[in-house]
DNA sequence: ATCCAACTAGTAATTAACTCA
DNA sequence: ATGAGTTAATTACTAGTTGGA
């Protein structure tokens, strides 16, 4: 096609995002010493590596000015209505089809970036909630200790009160509501055995600082 | 180029994953009634929509057999060493360059899928930890109630024990270690005022079932 | 130290399936 | 139901980076 006669180097490369995904330690690939350089491609007619300039279609990159305009337009509005498409087509000297394609691809790019952002905020929230949970565990431990202490003091300091009601009445009395939350998933913390000291951390530890990649489908 | 002489329809389209990302309620775009269909493209020489078959380069899709073989090979090993490349090139009747490009693109696809999976598992873990935290909050509440109850009973049932040490000594005594975790971020749950009944949920509620997308960069 | 072939990220363009008016 | 645009997936290309001989 050889759209756009102009040509400018390129836009700046953004940061290498998403790089932490490449932790496939599952396998090694140390070889790769590439012998046998056989001049690949004299088979289909010698038109292989560069596709000799048939005076059309070289997929030139868009100029910086064009990209700036497109990007500005995209920031204003992620979708492209026909009027804007035609206007941009005229202003930038590109085919309307090129404008449409650019917006398609730009939306796709935006979506993956969005997932990335979403992941980051979720991870942050996960860490916050994990810390809060840890604090609550500590507090539960502390309160249990205080209860034990008080109970023993009661039994020592006062000789009455034989087998009335000391501490074993945990989890049965409900001081407040909101105990219906535990309906799905495994009952991890259980929260019913007050003097069960080690809480069973279960899912707490991973912490997601350095991700682990199991396998690839 | 017209690589690969064979041709088969296409592979089945997978499920429309990542769709939940498209919640940009930030803006409307109701127009789009596309008037003025002006026969776009009679400007650059009428070579616009289909790129009249210049006996080369139509970007034919790979055949199902070729894709199956490539996919199998990729599952075995995500990287492509030269030997495998040449073998696949011979077996599938494709240029070595095509094999390499296919693997590059396949790796990129795998990476985004990987991020998706990572997000899902993180979200699951977040939900689990949120539930655990809720249970712990309930338990703390319950324990506090028990402590109050016991304290009042002590003061009523026994006349000795003037101002010794009732309940105000929370958060100061450390029954176990691991209280150093709270160093960054806001101290949400605080966990230091034992009789402060409503915990201040802060970050707990969002729950990420339906995501909210703020804006797009 | 240079070169070369692989890698990566980003981009352009095409195709098929979907949606909706 | 026909046809517009859209998404998702693909194919290919460009430019920059990296590691080994």
How far is it, in rounded angstroms, from Cα B29 to Cα A143? 56
List Cβ neighbours of A64 (8 Å cut-off, separation of 6 or more): A8, A9, A10, A11
- Which of residues A41 and B65 earns the better pLDDT score? B65
Say if the Cβ atoms of B176 and A138 lie within 8 Å. yes
Helix axes A82-92, A96-157, angle to 10 degrees: 120
**pLDDT bucket at B150, cuts 50 / 70 / 90:** confident
Taking the CA of residue A65 and the C1' sugar atom of nucleotide C1, their distance in angstroms comes to 39
- What percent of chain B has a predicted confidence (pLDDT) above 90? 18
Task: Note the pLDDT of residue B157.
Answer: 57
Matching residue, tokens 């024990």: B161
Q: Which residue is nearest to nucleotide D11 (CA to C1')?
A: B59
**pLDDT bucket at A112, cuts 50 / 70 / 90:** confident
What are the residues with a C-beta under 7 Å from any atom of nucleic chain C? A 1, 3, 11, 13-19, 21-22, 32, 34, 37, 59, 61-62, 67, 97-98, 101-102, 104-105, 109; B 9-10, 13, 50-51, 58-59, 61, 79-80, 82, 85, 100, 103-104, 107-108, 111
Taking the CA of residue A63 and the C1' sugar atom of nucleotide D14, their distance in angstroms comes to 14
- Give the residue from chain A lying closest to B183, CA to CA: A131
How far is it, in rounded angstroms, from Cα A47 to Cα A30? 32
When the pLDDT of each residue in chain A is averaged and rounded to a whole number, the result is: 60
pTM for the whole thing?
0.60
Residue A55 contacts residue B152 (beta carbons within 8 Å): no
- Give the residue from chain B lying closest to A177, CA to CA: B138
Q: What is the pLDDT of residues B185-196, one digit of tens each?
A: 333 333 333 333
- Give the residue from chain B lying closest to A29, CA to CA: B79
Distance from CA of A177 to the nearest CA of B (A): 8
- Which of residues B138 and B63 earns the better pLDDT score? B138
Nearest-5° Cα angle at B120, B117 to B125: 125
Task: Note the pLDDT of residue A52.
Answer: 33
DSSP-derived secondary structure letter, A26: T
Whether the predicted pLDDT of A103 surpasses 70? yes
Task: Note the pLDDT of residue B126.
Answer: 96
Distance from CA of A98 to the nearest CA of B (A): 10
Say if the Cβ atoms of A82 and B32 lie within 8 Å. yes
- Which of residues B154 and B99 earns the better pLDDT score? B99
- Which of residues B88 and B49 earns the better pLDDT score? B88
Which secondary structure element, helix H or strand E, spans residue A103, and what is its range?
helix A96-157
Q: What is the pLDDT of residues A176-202, one digit of tens each?
A: 333 333 333 333 333 233 333 333 333
Task: Note the pLDDT of residue B58.
Answer: 55
Residue B111 contacts residue A18 (beta carbons within 8 Å): yes
> Three-class SS string for chain B?
CCCCCCCCCCCCCCCCCCHHHCCCCCCCCCCCCCCCCCCCCCCCCCCCCCCCCCCCCCCCCCCHHHHHHHHHHHHHCCCCCHHHHHHHHHHHCCCHHHHHHHHHHHHHHHHHHHHHHHHHHHHHHHHHHHHHHHHHHHHHHHHHHHHHHHHHHHHHHCCCCCCCCCCCCCCCCCCCCCCCCCCCCCCCCCCCCCCCCCCCCCCCCCCCCCCCCCCCC
**pLDDT bucket at A140, cuts 50 / 70 / 90:** very high
Mean pLDDT to the nearest integer, A129-142:
96
Task: Note the pLDDT of residue A82.
Answer: 87
Number of H helices, E strands in chain A: 3, 0
Whether the predicted pLDDT of B26 surpasses 80? no
How far is it, in rounded angstroms, from Cα A96 to Cα A86? 6
How far is it, in rounded angstroms, from Cα A5 to Cα A94? 9
Say if the Cβ atoms of B143 and A145 lie within 8 Å. no
**pLDDT bucket at B134, cuts 50 / 70 / 90:** very high
Within 8 A of A112 by CB-CB distance, chain B residues are: 112, 115
Taking the CA of residue B105 and the C1' sugar atom of nucleotide D10, their distance in angstroms comes to 9
Q: Which residue is nearest to nucleotide C10 (CA to C1')?
A: A13
Task: Note the pLDDT of residue A141.
Answer: 95
Whether the predicted pLDDT of A73 surpasses 80? yes
How far is it, in rounded angstroms, from Cα A158 to Cα B154? 9
**pLDDT bucket at B130, cuts 50 / 70 / 90:** very high
Task: Note the pLDDT of residue B59.
Answer: 61
Distance from CA of A9 to the nearest CA of B (A): 23
Task: Note the pLDDT of residue B122.
Answer: 93
- Which of residues A99 and B192 earns the better pLDDT score? A99
Whether the predicted pLDDT of B201 surpasses 80? no
Task: Note the pLDDT of residue A20.
Answer: 60
Q: Which residue is nearest to nucleotide D16 (CA to C1')?
A: A13
**pLDDT bucket at B117, cuts 50 / 70 / 90:** confident
Q: Which residue is nearest to nucleotide C14 (CA to C1')?
A: B59
């Amino acid at each position: 096609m050889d759209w756009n006669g102009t040509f400018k180097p390129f836009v700046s490369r953004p940061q290498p995002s998403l790089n932490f995904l490449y932790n496939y330690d599952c396998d090694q690939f140390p070889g790769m010493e590439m012998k046998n350089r056989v001049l690949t491609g004299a088979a289909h007619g010698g038109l292989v590596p560069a596709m000799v300039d048939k005076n059309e279609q070289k997929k030139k990159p868009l100029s910086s000015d064009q990209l700036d305009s497109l990007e500005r337009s995209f920031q204003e509005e992620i979708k492209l209505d026909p009027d804007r498409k035609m206007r941009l087509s005229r202003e930038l000297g590109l085919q309307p089809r090129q404008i449409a394609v650019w917006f398609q691809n730009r939306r796709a790019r935006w979506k993956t970036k969005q997932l990335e952002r979403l992941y980051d905020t979720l991870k942050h929230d996960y860490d916050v909630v994990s810390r809060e949970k840890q604090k609550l565990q500590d507090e539960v431990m502390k309160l249990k200790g205080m209860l034990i202490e008080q109970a023993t003091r009661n039994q020592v300091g006062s000789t009455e009160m034989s087998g009335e009601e000391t501490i074993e009445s945990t989890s049965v009395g409900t001081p407040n509501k909101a105990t219906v939350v535990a309906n799905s998933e495994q009952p991890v913390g259980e929260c019913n055995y007050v003097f069960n000291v080690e809480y069973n951390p279960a899912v707490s530890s991973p912490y997601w600082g350095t991700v682990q990649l199991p396998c690839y489908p």
